[in-house]
Structure 1
Amino acid sequence: MKNALRFIFGLAMVFGGSADAFAAPSAAPAGKERTLPWNAETSDLEPDASIIYGRLPNGLRYAIRPNHRPQNQVLVRMTIDFGSAAEAQDEQGLAHFIEHMAFNGSANVPEGEMVKMLERLGLSFGADTNASTGYTQTQYKLDLPKSDMNLIERALFLMRETAREISFNPAAVDRERGVILAEKSARENFGFQSARAANNLFYPNSFYATRYPIGTTEVIQTASAERMRALYRKYYRPDRIKIIVVGPVDPIVIERELVAKFGDWRVDAPPLGAIDQCSLDTERVLTAQSFVHPEISESIGVQQFLQDKKRPDTLKRAMIELKMSIANAIISRRMARRSREEDMPFLGGGVTFNFGLCDQYATIGYGVAGKDGSWRSLLAFTEQTVRQAVEYGFEESEIAEQVKRLDAQYENAAKDEGTESSAAIANALVSLDEDVYNSDRYRQILWRQIRPFVTKAAITSEFAFWFRQMERPQIFLTTKQSAAVFEDEILAAYAISRGTPIAAPMTRAASSFAYTDFGPAGDVIADKTIADLGIRTIRFANGVLLNLKKTDFEDNRIRYSLRIDGGQLHFGKENAVLASLMSATYVSGGLEAHDIEDLRSILAGTTVSPAFGVADRYFGAASAVAPADLERQLQVMAAYTTHPGYSENALRLFRRPLPELYARLKATPASALAVAMSKIMTDDDPRFALAPLETIQGADFAMLKLALGDALRQNRLEIALVGDLDDDAAIAAVARSFGALPSRADDGKDHNAQLQPGWSAKRGSFDISHNGEANQLAWRRIWTTTGDNDQKTTQAMDLLARVATLRLTDELREKLGTTYGVSANSDMSNLYLKRGAFSVSTAGDPKDIATIETTVDQVISALVKSPVDPDLFERARKPVLESYADWKKQNNTWLGVVAETQTNPDRLNRFRNSESNFTSITAQDLWQLAKQYLDKPAEFTFRALPDEMVSADEKSAQ
């Protein structure tokens, strides 16, 4: 193996490049220097040459990547090497607090104006402007809707304000405390408590266990503005900052702007050290711990840390990680197959392996989740599956399957590279840490060279080397058992499993796909083009409809949609539970000739997915596939319409987690509210409300087959293909699959009788009990409206909801600090045209419920009383207007239109008129709609409260 690696390293030099290859391509603009790609000095892998890297004299680093997908959007990211790991004991939470204060005013932006300024520029707060704080990094992001230099200048100006000029006004700091405490309260449920307990076991005394980014209540409540400013000045400094710009930009212009905004920033203090270091005891004895909570899911996590070394991003490290990822994928497949074939309490799990923890440790382990009370069998099942791989290794067929997957992965990524999204590139650069950003084409070349060395012996040896060292792991159990599970019980169960002999895995024979011949190819009897939209419509002799839209927005990708009339409407009210059953089990039931695991093996090395589900008005699927795999994708979907497998294994897997799922419906306020709300507002209509556990457990495949009848074979069928198309090849592939099937109905079925339901006549306020934390509330107030009968009205109601969200955010979050987030939403059904709702939703502390309700009513009353002011109207409207710049340059947008071109031509007109309709909406229009729909008491108010706050009468009524 050493000789093999030596050969591979030689290849890396052939396909890689020297440092000189990344010198400045031309004279860099004054005030900056071009540099090697980040981390290139420690790597033997070739960096992506399309990214321009540089540094200002003050140490600020930047990366610029011209990109045109989307064609207009520019993404700006700023990261600071600072997070909660750097905080002192009495500073816990201040890194996160500082991030919040970035949006609360700076030296050159008045308090409360930064977000408004961004909204006026066309950015939507939360979606396009955001920030996050982790253990070692704080990130700020701006997604600019267009490549306009004035807009980019403003974005970099605001980044400079954030990096150096936050004002920390004491009054603003005090107001923000409530927002952060609300965020902390919303997050710290039993799941977070469990994570804390696990970190205490796995990472004792490290920042992972002692410095959570959210901080401590005491510090959040008491830290002074001056204390924050001092920490900000210490760590927000240019040599700890990276700026990333991705989009249709001129790098030279961006560099000049970076110099203008950041070049004069000087810091005299000496550089600070790294903050991502920690120390763990790798000689710890075997230890176990449990976390017990009545709402927690049953799970076992087993981990051990091994002393390692700092491993730069080299081919040698990549080879190890590649072999381990193949091994881990095989073990996951073994677990999944066994859980399907045997009646066991397993609900999911797999193996973990990582380098680089605190720069000096490797992590090995495994985790598994299962049914309540099953931890002993879960532990034994997982431990023995992993040990089986250590002792017996892997089969050639298993390796071959994973290699095929990697072949396809690297090949398709290389083909897609020219149209990779700006978001994917920016996010990769943000999370780069100490790695090197490589191009997809280079990774494909490298994969082809190392592929011969990815053998059964190499993978078996690598996996065994690491997991044979798993002698003293730490074991963490979460369980809802009423009595605590003590350490000695867990350790005893682990010892019993370790002492249990294991047999070699069974070898499975490979098979080929059985559904490639559906009869003589169908004839095309109609072929038209909708000229202004560039959509081609085809009709086959058997009634199958095909719509094509060729684009160049994504290389090597076709987005597809299959729609067979029916869906939930086919099952109706009386069989509504079967729609849920079909959605969850139809695909996993496999085909007559292949169970789902065999089918996945057959499809390895392709982009084909076994997809088929149930939507409101149709059966079918929508996803993406490489052009080379289109015909196989069509064959798989056609086989699901003609030869479904209905495997009982799928039914068993569907039913297995249901008792635990239903037992936890009230575990959080949001879940409790959602379940109760759908039940109350629809009079417990099974089409919209969650079915009782016994009803859904009683549903089976015999019932599903009877209810389906011949719908999948006979109902009207429409296929849409959008993207990197060869029209003739696509038409021929459809002709040989769906076009070869028996004739179908020309028209859709009449479901009008089912489309009449409105909302329940039972109106009022409803207190819903939840079993979560005592300081958590979920709240929603709803005004009934109508369905999507008029496009402009629907768009205007959406805009009214955006206006309401801005007003509510100002009042509830920024002024009162009673909630971390609040939103208004308009939902006007395009199916049930008598049904619509305008809602306001938030979360918080039950003690603030009166303030929340009063404030919401005041905001809604103001919207009814008079038109919104021009600035607020424009801030709500501008992000939507700007989104139209790239709206028609995305395949997902077109697929939504092309999917129903022949069966719903009104959708084409809506598409044509969407922008002009939206542009014509005025503040007066919103005022009229507010008076029409909101000038009345809300029909429904839902408050999900801690169980002890809800009366027995309210509980029984639900």
Structure 2
Amino acid sequence: MPSAVNTGNCCMPWFAKPCTAYTDEWSPLTNFVSLFPNNALSWVSKADIDTCLAAIPSYLSQLTIITDMKHLRFVVLAVFLAGSILPACKSTQTAGKEQPVLTQAGSTANAGSTTEPSSPAASAPEIPFDPSVRRGTLDNGLTYYIRHNAKPEKRAELRLAVNAGSLLETDEQQGLAHFLEHMAFNGTEHFPKNELIDYLEGIGMRFGAHLNAYTSFDETVYMLRVPTDSAEVFDKGMQIMEDWAHLLSFDPEEIEKERGVVIEEWRTRLGPNQRMQQKTLPIMLYKSRYAERLPIGKVEVLESFEHELLKQFYRDWYRPDLMAVAVVGDVDVDAVENMIREKFSRIPAPQAPKERPLYEIPNHEQTLVAIASDEEAPYNLIQLIDKHDRMPMENLKDYRRAMMDRLVSNMLNNRLSELLQSENPPFSFASSSYGPMMRTKDNFQSFAAVSPGQFLTGLEALVKENERAARHGFTATELEREKKSILTSLEQQYKERDKTDSRQLVGQYVQHYLSGQPVPGIENRLKLYQQFLPTITLEEVNARMKSYITEQNRVVVLTGSSKGGNQMPSEEEVLAKMAEVQQMELAAYEDEVIDAPLMAEKPQPGKLASKKQIEALKLTELTFDNGLKVILKPTDFKNDQILMRAYSPGGNSLYPDSLYMSASMADAVVAQSGLGPFDNVQLEKYLSDKVASVSPGISELNEQFRGSCSPQDVETFLQMVNLYFMQPRKDPIAFNAYMSRIKSLYSNLLEQPENYFQSELMKLLYNNHPRRLFPTPEMLEEVQLDQSYDIFRDRYADASDFTFFFVGNFDTTTFVPLLSQYLGSLPALNRKESWKDVGAEIVPGRIKQAFYKGKEPKSNVEMYFSGDYEWSPEENHRMNSMIQVLRIMMRESMREDKGGVYGVRASASPSRWPKGRYEINISFVCSPDNAEDLIATALKDIQTLKTEGPSAINLEKVKQIQRKEHEEGLKENNFWISYLYSSYVNGLDPLRIEQRMQQIDQLTAEEVKQAALKYFNDDNYIEAILYPEDKQR
């Protein structure tokens, strides 16, 4: 289900998951994270990347940019995460072709074994199933999974998995599997029209975050979080699941209204990726139904389908033998099982069910080449895909093979990471992995992003690394290091086994049902890895790598810009280059490892000057003789996690505009250089079996640190912090490699209309302020290694005004001596400094500006309100509540009533420093013909809020959401590290948190109304619209 704020997973295809072999591994993404300046991505965690992975399908056809508005970091995320996926959601018709079909009735629990017999391993023991899970099958064929898990407390995750997706549509139904998913939120027997969303928001669940769904080729999954501290509320949550399964209303009026919403979702995907995809997908998915049935469907069908076709799909495929219900959370398992039996046994088993087919992707002997260019393409991308019949995953021999795939993928990515950090890297990002492709295919996929005109160079380098590994294999030291790294990761998961979030667990059970993914549970999983990893030999791993690369079923995909000197190679040139590499003599990889400690000499401890307890919050405040302050909050929310943040006032505001580019990249330049005796490549090897990550960052107003570690690696963690102060490295090779990748990244970025629009918008909003401009290749040329290094040294020369925060599982008694040694010993210059106001704020006045770029019939709308602000926690709460109410109002008016948008975003950014200011932004994508009308609708909602205030229902929804989120946050380390950081940065009493619930309860409609009157100031309003070029008069 698409979220009203575009955080949903609607149309999430199979490839929105990390592409490794039956694991939750995500190592290909680590190369991506290393690409960007640390203060641009230091806040990106694994959870952030998982979230972005889930959101890729919604954004892939329009490059997703995460924008730090304060520091203007345009971090292009989705396109790189898409390195191991296919482009998304626009149907390509391939008429008149026979489609290979494997019929299947019922569950796909072993779908992965349908294409290849498993006789060689048939006698091996089966993969154990998680003993913590109760599973069963009702008489009507419905499967269920139930597990008690108290993280988070008083919450449960509910899932309805339907083994049916867009592949099962007839020609006349293209797009209706996905449309049907939308209708599940627009009327059921017990929740007519939009009452389902109203009810869930009324109990504090947020639309998009806690209520969502996705449709893919082979499956549809509905997702719901509900409180469990009320039996009535939980029962209603289960009733919603039953309603979705067989009690949808199909109100004709609601169907007609939803057409517009789904068409607007289709519109968001229009752009260069979608146009190139039309050319490449039929080749990539050679003669298969997958190329003809992308979940978003065909717009002509969406505009005109008969309602009966939607109902027919529901009758045919939403049936108990193709469904599973999964419930994980703070629940009584027996009671939930009884509830499932009571509710879902009411669904009648079909009398004459249609066979549920599995569609094969046909094999091909020759290498296929797909080449597509577009003048708006922001990147040049290479994909190498070697398709293989799906390997079985039924027994321990299969599971052991999957371990080998994980080892190979990770070791190959480590080599690519090393190549990326060479002086002249042949690409700006690269990854390789082996894993599931579709239900009947696995694939070995390599991906790279290259600079303009460098397709053949990048292709050669990518093929060479694969060929090098296939010919010469890996080294014993690589294998041993990777085994340790994997075990370290699994051991950390094991330590957190009673603190694992229910969302993570329930997703595993859904995939077990849909694709046969093993679910041994972390206890069994760790035991199996401990048992099998030591037995996996170098010869086995090398043979497995060699088997990936074949002459058959290979596809090469090149997509990129057609502008300037970016000449796309021909199919003949591509094939010739690959053949050329086959004839090259390639040296074996040499694994260079430095056998040295991270810190040769440990510092003498500093002295503790003062210690203060805040018993109510279990806080300890320390001050050392060097002036450095530390705030400690030990928790048991996670067993194997310590989080850290730190700040010191100053930032890059202290340097003139002439040094801004060097200052803004200083943290990244140093971070790319390594630490202590290690360059960055050697540092990655040193840390491979440790859980410790530290990121320095220099923002406009502060120099900072962010990081996390396992308690067992906390000394290594603190040594890393100490070394950034005391021995930051300056590595010219790392600098040149990093800048080469960054320049490549930005080379064609502004060719894409959305990026061009954001660039022009920043110029308009900030009157061309040099610190708010979209980075260009010319600006990047200003970055100088010596300047960046000297600025970093200056910012971290004085520890006396730093404040550190630690939250997590540590014992204060044993932790303080380590803090004394590595932080208390840092130098103190006792400088009295602060940030400077660089004068970058949104221009005053009323401005309306149209921009024209692009070919597709879509517009991007941005609305800004701004002004002076009296910053306080109370005022922040009023403003945030006002925005939350407005989101609900705009979703109802612009999406539900008008069907004019897929989603609308609204956000407020109040700031205290360098002066009290606020910015409110409203943005959405729509038809160019509807832009003015939808802006008027948004302004009408704002006017209603200003004159009438929020409705009692909407205000209570917002208050309930805030209560539930606060309740959950109190049990999360991430909440506390952010809360404490904000409190001390802003000079606030941290004890104010004890009044948070009272603050929520006492919020009145009049306060929200007054906030709207104050902050939606018509005198300072900027409206910008991006139109396609054919709309320019």
Task: Using structure 1 for the length normalisation, give the TM-score.
Answer: 0.90
Of stretches 154-163 and 927-936 in structure 1, the one that deviates more from structure 2 is 927-936
The one of 409, 417, 422 aligned to 2:489: 409
Distance between the aligned counterparts of 1:637 and 1:404, measured in 2? 24
Query: Which of residues 735, 739, 761 in structure 1 aligns to 2:844?
Result: 761
Q: Distance in 2 between matches of 1:577 and 1:134?
A: 43
Distance, in Å, in 1 between the alignment partners of 2:1002 and 2:657 is: 40
Equivalent residue, structure 2, for 1:380:
460
1:521 counterpart letter in structure 2: P
**Residue type of the alignment partner of 2:463:** E
Q: Does 2:164 align with 1:79?
A: no
CA deviations over 1:781-805 (Å, ceiling 9, x no partner): 1221434612222111111111111
Matched, 1:206 2:288: yes
- Asked if 1:97 corresponds to 2:179, the answer is yes
- Aligned with 1:943: secondary structure? strand
Change (3 A) 1:365 1:686: same
**Whole-angstrom CA distance in 1 between matches of 2:182 and 2:581:** 49
Q: In the alignment, what sits opposite 1:711?
A: 795
After the TM superposition, which of the residue ranges 213-222 and 202-211 deviates more from structure 2?
202-211
Q: 1:300 to 1:642 in 2, by over 3 A?
A: same
Partner of 1:831: 913
The answer to whether the 8 A contact 1:130-1:141 is kept is yes
Q: Which residue of 2 aligns with 1:695?
A: 779
SS of the residue corresponding to residue 826 of structure 1 reads strand
Moved more, 49-58 or 656-665: 656-665
**Mapped contact 1:665–1:675 kept (Cα < 8 A):** no
1:56 aligns with 2:138: yes
- CA distance, structure 2, for counterparts of residue 244 and residue 527 of structure 1: 49
CA–CA distance in structure 1, aligned partners of residues 226 and 997 of structure 2: 19
Residue aligned with 1:419, SS: coil
| 1:762/1:649 CA distance change after superposition, 3 Å | farther
Q: Residue 900 and residue 117 in structure 1: after superposition, are their counterparts in 2 closer, same or farther (change >3 A)?
A: closer
Q: What amino acid is the match of 1:323?
A: M
Residue type of the alignment partner of 1:576:
Y
- What is the aligned partner in structure 1 of residue 636 from structure 2? 552
Q: 1: distance between equivalents of 2:425 and 2:491?
A: 38
Q: Give, in whole Å, the separation in 2 of the partners of 1:300 and 1:690.
A: 26
Does 2:414 match 1:333? Answer: yes
Q: Structure 1 275/648 Cα, relative in aligned 2: closer, same or farther at 3 Å? A: farther
Matching of residue 303 in structure 1 with residue 385 in structure 2: yes
After TM superposition, the structure 1 = structure 2 runs for residues 164-563 of structure 1, keeping only pairs within 5 Å, are 164-281=246-363, 283-296=364-377, 297-306=379-388, 308=389, 311-354=392-435, 357-359=438-440, 361-432=441-512, 433-467=515-549, 469-470=550-551, 473-481=554-562, 485-563=569-647
What is the aligned residue count? 909
Q: Deviations over 1:605-641 (max 9, x none)?
A: 0001252222343323223211000110110121112
Taking the aligned partners of 2:841 and 2:881, their CA distance within structure 1 comes to 23
Query: How far off is 1:129 after superposition?
Result: 0.8
Q: What TM-score, normalized by structure 2, do the two folds share?
A: 0.84
Tell me the amino acid that sits aligned with residue 647 of structure 1. D
Unpaired runs of at least 5, structure 2: 1-106, 114-121
CA change 1:763–1:850 in 2 (3 A) is: closer
- Give the counterpart letter for 1:881 in structure 2: R
Identical amino acids, percent of aligned pairs: 21
Out of 665-674 and 316-325, give the one that drifted further. Answer: 665-674
Aligned to 1:69, the other structure's residue is in SS state coil
2:722 is the counterpart of 1:642: no
Matched to 2:709, the amino acid is: V
1:927 paired with 2:1009, answer: yes
C-alpha spacing 1:680/1:834, structure 2 compared with 1 (3 Å): farther
* Deviation of 1:220 (Å): 0.6
Whether 1:653 and 2:737 are equivalent positions in the alignment is yes
Moved more, 435-444 or 132-141: 435-444
Mapped to 2, the partners of 1:603 and 1:484 lie a distance apart of: 40
Quick one: distance in 2 between partners of 1:786 and 1:421? Answer: 41
- Distance (whole Å) between structure 1 residues aligned to residue 268 and residue 588 of structure 2: 48
One-letter identity of the residue aligned with 1:479: G
1:113 has 2:198 as partner: no
Q: Which moved more, 1:175-184 or 1:146-155?
A: 146-155
* One-letter amino acid matched to 2:732: E
Which residue matches 2:820? 735
Aligned mates of 2:1027, 2:584 — CA distance in 1: 48
Q: 2:117 — aligned with what?
A: none
Residue type at the aligned position of 1:380 = E
Counting only pairs closer than 5 Å after superposition, residues 893-932 of structure 1 correspond to structure 2 as 893-899=975-981, 904-906=986-988, 908-932=990-1014
CA RMSD of aligned residues (A): 2.5
Q: Which of the numbers 240, 245, 259 marks the counterpart of 1:158?
A: 240
* Higher radius of gyration, 1 or 2: 1
Q: Work out the CA distance in 2 between the residues paired with 1:305 and 1:705.
A: 46
Q: Provide the residue aligned with 1:956 in structure 2.
A: none
- SS of residue in 2 equivalent to 1:231: helix
1-side partners of 2:264 and 2:709: how far apart? 43
One-letter amino acid of the counterpart of residue 433, structure 2: T
Q: 1:706 to 1:555 in 2, by over 3 A?
A: closer
Who is 2:28 aligned against?
A: none
**C-alpha distance after superposition, 1:29-49 (max 9, x if no partner):** xxxxxxx99769997122211
Greater shift in the superposed pair: 790-799 or 483-492: 483-492
Could you tell me how far 1:554 is from its partner in structure 2? Answer: 0.7
Is 1:939 aligned to residue 1024 of structure 2?
no
SS of structure 2 residue aligned to 1:609: strand
1:166-185 deviations in Å (ceiling 9; x for gaps):
12122221111111111001
After superposition, the C-alpha distances for 1:377-431 in whole angstroms (9 at most, x for unaligned) are 1111111111111111111221122122112112111111111111111222222
Q: Secondary structure, in 3 states, of the residue corresponding to 2:452?
A: coil
Contact 2:134/2:147, CA 8 A, preserved across alignment? yes
2:184–2:248 contact (8 Å) kept in structure 1? yes
Q: Describe the shift of the 1:830–1:265 C-alpha distance in structure 2 as closer, same or farther (beyond 3 A).
A: same
Displacement of 1:922 after TM fit? 0.7
Deviation at 1:211, TM superposition (A): 0.5
Shift of 1:943: 0.9
| Counterpart Cα distance in 2 of 1:706 and 1:651 | 14
Deviates more, 1:557-566 or 1:168-177: 557-566
Deviates more, 1:691-700 or 1:918-927: 691-700
My pick for the range that moved more, 578-587 or 77-86, is 578-587
